[in-house]
Amino acid sequence: MSNSTKYIFVTGGVTSSLGKGIISASLAKLLQARGYSATIQKLDPYINIDPGTLNPYEHGECYVTDDGAETDLDLGHYERFLNVPTSQANSVTTGKIYQAVIDKERRGEYLGKTVQVIPHITDEIKDRIQILGKKGEFDIVITEIGGTVGDIESLPYVEAVRQMKWEFENDCLVIHLTLIPYLAAAGELKTKPTQHSVKQLLEFGVQPDILCCRTEHHLDLTIRKKIANFCNVGINAVIESIDAETIYDVPLLMQAEGLDKVVLEKLNLSSKDVPNLDSWNSFLHTLKNPKSEITIGLVGKYVELKDSYKSISEAFIHAGVSNECRVNVKWIHSEKLTKANIQEELGELDGILVAPGFGSRGISGKIEAVRYARENNIPFLGICLGMQCAVIEFARNVLHMEDAHTMEIAEDSKFPVITMMEEQKTIANLGGTMRLGAYKCELKPNSNTAIAYNTDLISERHRHRYEFNNEYLKQFEEAGMVAAGKNPETNLIEVVEIPTHPWFVGVQFHPEYKSTVDNPHPLFVGFVNAAKEYKQK
Ligand code: GLN
């Protein structure tokens, strides 16, 4: 079968958390730097339709695409590395696969047939993989299979990979990411877990073409030969993936190991252009040689698990580089923040960010943090729930609306300054029913937000059910908190600012999802710049 799109699968063995997402994104970056268009897709073996209903403690941040898919945080890495938006098609789960197959069964599309894992589930998986290829936009589709080979739930995916390897022959290859542990007592790197993991793949009929070996120590020639020999791959297909100082080093480390070269060889693709990584290199150089340093407090309720705020912390890295400044993030647990310790916790900060979130836990700490930022003229960015907290704080402490609240937490509040969106009122299901994805927003000329974006019309991604209650807008504006951004069609307030404060911005949308290495997000750049100025004073 001939096909113009090439398919690369990335599987994982031995253990989870080896960094398949970063390896996939790094490879895509290298291929992109050689002039190929590449996209990355994540197949997640869990039964949830999407991670939207998963607690961030379980699965880290839920990342949102322009077209409103709630996805795994790896999609964020893909966008940050490639600077190309992903979409619904880039994120597939077992839940989605089964839902589609069961819907087809009900519609009678398999009439007369017994519906089975093979071929119906595997066919659906293969279709989902090829949706991106068939679009004709991409030379190469990299598909990352979540989980670890051998898990019961990932079996249908591995089987789909096996079938595609046969059907697509030279247009398809498998990269297996494994671990080479170092045994300190023996003073040795051990290859056995990798051998076993490759054996397991072989049992399912898949011979990996390339092995990416995650390790804490360099792999010498002897060990590379041993891995090649036991796992049936050429020595140039044994790629060392050593622990890196930052994730942004990984494309260069992979280039030094020749990952892109061996991939192109195996796919019969010419090495087109010499890879151009100039802008990436200069980003890294600035990242590692900052001229100044600031500390921003991130106030949230999931701070024990930093993956819950992945896009925010990465956006700070990008914005820091733009400002030639290292941004240290101080993680502050909103549940532990009180009037009594606020000075001690927030006193040394150059900027305060109140994070997105759901539910009442930690809300009073978030509101206190807003108050501290507002009263002390500390640069402030509130995102989604963080913006809503800014509105609540202003209502309570400036407009003296006692117990003003969001209807999410206090349905019977006398001052529901944050209220449920009209379209949300009739929705019964919780999954995939928020206001999701990109919406336009018109900015107030000369507001801090418009200055940061350097334009008056923007598009940003959303994930929420509640909104600013426009009935109170006049009172807020008269007292000094203004609507600096509105949806031009619905009039929903998307941005609030306090013009008398040096830099106080609350946004209903999530700017962090759109920050990339090539395009640091203007609002984060503006916030970091304001924090730098604050520190200088
Ligand atoms: N819980 C709030 C809402 O649904 C904020 C959501 C968020 O921060 N992503 O409106």
* Cβ of residue 358 lying under 6 Å from some atom of ligand 1: yes
Q: Which residue among 301, 388, 406, 469 has the greatest number of ligand 1 atoms within 8 angstroms of its CB, and so is best to mutate?
A: 388
Task: Give the pLDDT score at 2.
Answer: 41
Q: What kind and span of H or E run contains 263?
A: helix 259-266
- Structure-block tokens of residue 164: 């595609």
E strand intervals along 119-272: 140-145, 172-179, 182-183, 188-189, 210-215, 238-242
Chain-centroid distance of CA 518 in Å reads 16
Give catalytic residue positions.
384, 510, 512
Between the CA of 355 and the centroid of ligand 1 the distance, in Å, is: 10
Q: In tens digits, what is the pLDDT along the chain, a chain of 537 residues?
A: 345 899 999 999 988 889 999 999 999 999 999 999 999 999 999 999 998 888 888 788 999 999 999 999 999 999 999 999 999 999 999 999 999 999 999 999 998 899 999 999 999 999 999 999 998 899 999 999 999 999 999 999 999 999 999 999 889 999 999 999 999 999 999 999 999 999 999 999 999 999 999 999 999 999 999 999 999 999 999 999 999 999 999 999 999 999 999 999 999 998 777 788 999 999 999 999 999 999 999 999 988 888 899 999 999 999 999 999 999 999 999 999 999 999 999 999 999 999 999 999 999 999 999 999 999 999 999 999 999 999 999 999 999 999 999 999 999 999 999 999 888 888 878 888 899 999 999 999 999 999 999 999 999 999 999 999 999 999 999 999 999 999 999 999 999 999 999 999 999 999 999 999 999 999 999 999 999 999 998
Between the CA of 465 and the centroid of ligand 1 the distance, in Å, is: 6
Helix H segments across 54-190?
Answer: 56-59, 74-82, 94-107, 122-134, 155-168
Exposed/middle/buried for residue 123 (C-beta within 10 Å: 0-12, 13-18, 19+): middle
Between the CA of 384 and the centroid of ligand 1 the distance, in Å, is: 6
* Cβ of residue 356 lying under 6 Å from some atom of ligand 1: yes
Q: How far is CA 257 from CA 30, 36, 81, 91, 294, in A?
A: 12, 19, 19, 29, 35
* Cβ of residue 463 lying under 6 Å from some atom of ligand 1: yes
* Cβ of residue 498 lying under 6 Å from some atom of ligand 1: no
Between the CA of 41 and the centroid of ligand 1 the distance, in Å, is: 27
Instruction: Please count the other Cβ atoms lying within 10 Å of the Cβ belonging to residue 495.
Output: 27
